[in-house]
Amino acid sequence: MNRIHGILLLFALLLLCECGAMKEALQPKAPELLGMEGMMQNCGGTDTIQSILIKKAEAILTYDSERYEVNVTIYSKRDSIIYLSAVNSGFEILRASVKHDSIKVIDRMNNIVYSSPLQRKFGYQYPVSFNDLQNLIARFYLCDELQLGRDDMAKSVVFDFDENYIKKRIVINRNNLDMSIFEFYHQKTDRYLMGENLGDSFKIYSNFMITDIEIIASGGERTINRDIKIKMEVNPRKYTFTELR
């Protein structure tokens, strides 16, 4: 399995911030409006939020007819870095960081450190970028993109971020402002990363890896504006280093 591609899918778990404690922390005191007006109302004061920490999010991964249960910790610092740690049965199996231009993955099961540019110099780009992943973390990141939102005045507020050969869309429920679906699809490579709200959980599916994969994710404890120390260094005598292009 190409773990660089896999970690991009795991980072879709960032959208778990759309429920629970994070939603309560951003809840305005005034009665909420609907649709784009509601988005604008909820965006008030969110520029003071510089980081999000999510702990104990739960996910079930299914691929190659195998099923894995993991607990995920995610940290995001606005416009800077996204960090993830995945734990199975009490042991960390994966640690990763994403910056604007690069990805680094520590595979603790096989003692391998992968690194890769997020922006490719040759060939087609990946279906998602750093900004796309950040927009999946929480609704307030979309406050910087309100000019790209369209209120259909019926069910949804739709954000379109289309790029060359890549269709990118995030759909928000205009009544409760929760994320309904997201779709990132490369028309040339047929690679995609998509998700849909199931009510009490979020279903994520993709062929962005070598094989099809599905994730059902829920829960998580969230804290805003808390700084943590991110450690991505390993003992070079115990790990193999691989750079992917």
Average pLDDT over residues 46-70: 80
Place of tokens 């691929």: 63
Over residues 5-34, mean pLDDT: 51
The whole-number pLDDT of residue 25 equals: 45
Region 52-71: what's the mean pLDDT? 79
Contact 94, 87 (CB under 8 A): no
Least trusted range by pLDDT, from 35-44, 83-92, 142-151, 212-221: 212-221
Domain ranges across the chain = 3-243
User: Which tokens hold the place of 22?
Assistant: 């994070």
| pLDDT tens per residue across span 77-101 | 999 999 988 888 888 888 889 898 8
What would the mean pLDDT of 68-75 be, rounded to a whole number? 84
6 within 8 A of 108, measured Cβ to Cβ: no
In 78-163, alpha helices (H): 130-135
> What count of residues does the chain have?
245
Mean pLDDT of 174-178: 90
Which of 20-34, 128-142, 187-201, 229-243 shows the lowest per-residue confidence on average (mean pLDDT)?
A: 20-34
Percent pLDDT > 90 in the chain is 27
**Matching CATH number, 3-243, of 3.90.1410, 1.10.760, 2.50.20, 1.10.357:** 2.50.20
pLDDT band at 28 (very low <50, low <70, confident <90, very high): very low
CB-based contacts of 242, cutoff 8 Å, min separation 6? 112, 113, 114, 115
User: Which range, of 19-28, 105-114, 172-181, 192-201, averages the lowest pLDDT?
Assistant: 19-28
Please report which confidence band the pLDDT of residue 23 belongs to, taking 50, 70 and 90 as the band edges: very low
The per-residue pLDDT of the chain, averaged, comes to: 81
Sign of the alpha-carbon dihedral angle for 229, 128, 137, 49: positive
Q: How confident is the model at residue 42 (pLDDT cuts 50, 70, 90)?
A: confident
Query: Can you tell me the distance from the alpha carbon of 43 to that of 50, in angstroms, rounded to the nearest whole number?
Result: 14
